[in-house]
Structure 1
């Protein structure tokens, strides 16, 4: 509000009157103030104003309701926030709705800080967003932040996770390991690059094979059909995430292939259905509880301006060996 007043050349009190729709200003002054407010992106219910008034103890959480791994995090975010004396307001990230609209809704409901689970927005947008409210991004690596920007990241070391997956498959005897990537979904670039590097480090550069995908079952099914239509089957497939692996498993099984007898399959996340006896998916485990608790702590610390040495927490993954992987069938 002070910035609007300075830019418009009026008092802060007059700006408050105009933005609240109260009389006391000429039409010309009113239009000038409203234009400046629009230019600066001022919103009466933005987190900045709420913090200044000291009234918000609510953390806004954005999640994709179709991602089981994110659902597991949400169940831990609520008690973690309650422990710090905060409430949680949840907003869904839907495929047919701009992500920014869901985020704006959280800010309009006076959330003091934001926790974004696997957002698809650009790093530039997220950096700008953090100027409106302290922001924690979960599951995505962002460029190094400036120290004064209230933007933090909590994530799993995807490079280590993909290396674990490739090394494990190589130890089983696999060489033809295909990666079905996550397309433009969060974390996909790091996982794709890590797969390539792990294959090179195992002297398998000539066996690097990638199939376009995304972090959902439909993309996994499409990738499965493409793989089955190829000239030769790989002996192992490493999916970009568990949901992609579920789609692959369905198509491969319906196509008459035995998993893991004919082809081994791995996912990434260790989401809620992965250990279901009918699925029994070998995967890379991310700890949703720890990710959630660290994200809440970050959000509260940013909101309360508690100093930290680092604003990027990287957790270690682990390998969960189940029934969808085995040694390749002898030729």
Structure 2
């Protein structure tokens, strides 16, 4: 049988059934099931959050991928009018940290997880390298951008991260809350901070109350919050008229640097009777230096940390420390983020949480009248 390029209306298919007309195809199309957002995402091997952002024309989705998603949505007959009812909230929050070796950060992350779990959300901890002049390594903005594409609800930043402008830019339009970060970000993002002015003031008050006058501080290096903490120490000493007795020994937040700084403080003719530190880990390094140099703590040297971590309360250290109220910090930050994710639009908020001082054996005595005996120590 020969056909002239087309089939007549009464033509039969090879199976003997009438061939479908254009009207039949249109009717069939109108009654076929519509695809869902998940169908569109699964067909392209991407997440529903990425598919949604592509259909909304978000700038963080590559143009080529946006076109593919739009074409697939059309093919699967996904009703674009339903976009308004879709949400790209996945119930996952990324917690950005510059290290997990700091026990205070571990304590804080635990309180964040407790608060988020109560709202049905999950916290994913993401280590991000620090970038400061002393540690010139790049921040992992690629990882942050990947988290945005995967559809995390928002970001919580613990302490200062490297190259902060790049970090904030990488999070796109996702809610961003800083915890324990530098004051320089107040007004730019929601911030929940330790009131270091109060913390250092309480610590210096405690030591001066015991009779100490020659007090040193190990810190001020690295993150901006370390410099702010050192400045607060200077002001606290000046309030007692002891600005000429205040000494800053440069150090970061590590035990090794704390021990090196302790060695520097404990050699020579003018030795402080008390040392405060930027955190508990640094203070443990100072305790090691004191032990090696033959100083009795607290009889010949009082030592105090910052963070009131499990390290401070251990039987070996028994370290006086500033308690930043980590549970309160974590809970507030998580609440701020949940409010932002829920569409709560307000000006950037800043809350400074007042800390307390927990006194332990490392600073339970005032300075002795006599000069302590010293042994010669070397500094590598």
TM-score (norm: length of structure 1): 0.80
Measured after TM superposition, the shift of residue 143 of structure 1 is: 3.4
The answer as to 2:135 corresponding to 1:89 is no
The answer as to 2:115 corresponding to 1:69 is no
The answer as to 2:145 corresponding to 1:104 is yes
| 1:278-297 superposed matches below 5 A | 278-297=316-335
Equivalent residue, structure 2, for 1:329: 368
Equivalent residue, structure 2, for 1:33: none
Cα distance in 2 for partners of 1:246, 1:86 equals 36
Cα distance in 1 for partners of 2:69, 2:202 equals 66
Measured after TM superposition, the shift of residue 172 of structure 1 is: 0.6
SS at match of 1:181: strand
Question: Cα RMSD over matched residues?
Answer: 2.8
SS at match of 2:306: coil
Confirm or deny: 8 A CA contact 1:139 1:186 kept in the other structure. Answer: no
- Output one character per residue of 1:175-219: Cα deviation in whole Å (capped at 9) or x when no partner: 100111140225212211111111111111111211000011011
Cα distance in 1 for partners of 2:62, 2:107 equals 42
Cα distance in 1 for partners of 2:197, 2:138 equals 31
- Structure 1 segments unaligned to the other structure (5+ residues): 1-10, 26-48
Equivalent residue, structure 1, for 2:273: 235
| 1:1-331 superposed matches below 5 A | 18-20=64-66, 22=68, 53-63=87-97, 64-94=99-129, 98-122=139-163, 124-125=165-166, 127-129=168-170, 131-143=172-184, 151-308=189-346, 311-325=349-363, 326-331=365-370
Cα distance in 2 for partners of 1:16, 1:283 equals 49
Cα distance in 2 for partners of 1:286, 1:81 equals 20
SS at match of 1:175: coil
Cα distance in 1 for partners of 2:328, 2:69 equals 51
Change in Cα spacing, 1:271 to 1:103, as seen in structure 2 (3 Å) is: farther
Confirm or deny: 8 A CA contact 1:136 1:298 kept in the other structure. Answer: yes
Q: Which moved more, 1:93-102 or 1:253-262?
A: 93-102
Confirm or deny: 8 A CA contact 1:57 1:87 kept in the other structure. Answer: yes
Cα distance in 1 for partners of 2:240, 2:295 equals 27
Please tell me whether Structure 1 or Structure 2 has the larger radius of gyration of its CA atoms.
2
Confirm or deny: 8 A CA contact 1:213 1:223 kept in the other structure. Answer: yes
How many residues in Structure 1 have an aligned counterpart in Structure 2? 293
Cα distance in 1 for partners of 2:250, 2:335 equals 36
Measured after TM superposition, the shift of residue 77 of structure 1 is: 1.6
Cα distance in 1 for partners of 2:345, 2:173 equals 19
- Structure 2 segments unaligned to the other structure (5+ residues): 1-55, 72-82, 131-136, 371-380
Confirm or deny: 8 A CA contact 2:129 2:161 kept in the other structure. Answer: no
Measured after TM superposition, the shift of residue 133 of structure 1 is: 1.5
Cα distance in 2 for partners of 1:290, 1:187 equals 19
Q: Which moved more, 1:195-204 or 1:82-91?
A: 82-91
Confirm or deny: 8 A CA contact 1:17 1:24 kept in the other structure. Answer: no
Q: Which has the higher contact order (CA 8 A, sep 6+)?
A: 1
SS at match of 1:238: strand
- Output one character per residue of 1:210-232: Cα deviation in whole Å (capped at 9) or x when no partner: 10000110110110111123332
Confirm or deny: 8 A CA contact 1:117 1:137 kept in the other structure. Answer: yes
Cα distance in 1 for partners of 2:89, 2:196 equals 38
Confirm or deny: 8 A CA contact 1:99 1:120 kept in the other structure. Answer: no
SS at match of 1:143: helix
Equivalent residue, structure 1, for 2:53: none
Cα distance in 1 for partners of 2:167, 2:69 equals 36
Change in Cα spacing, 1:12 to 1:102, as seen in structure 2 (3 Å) is: closer
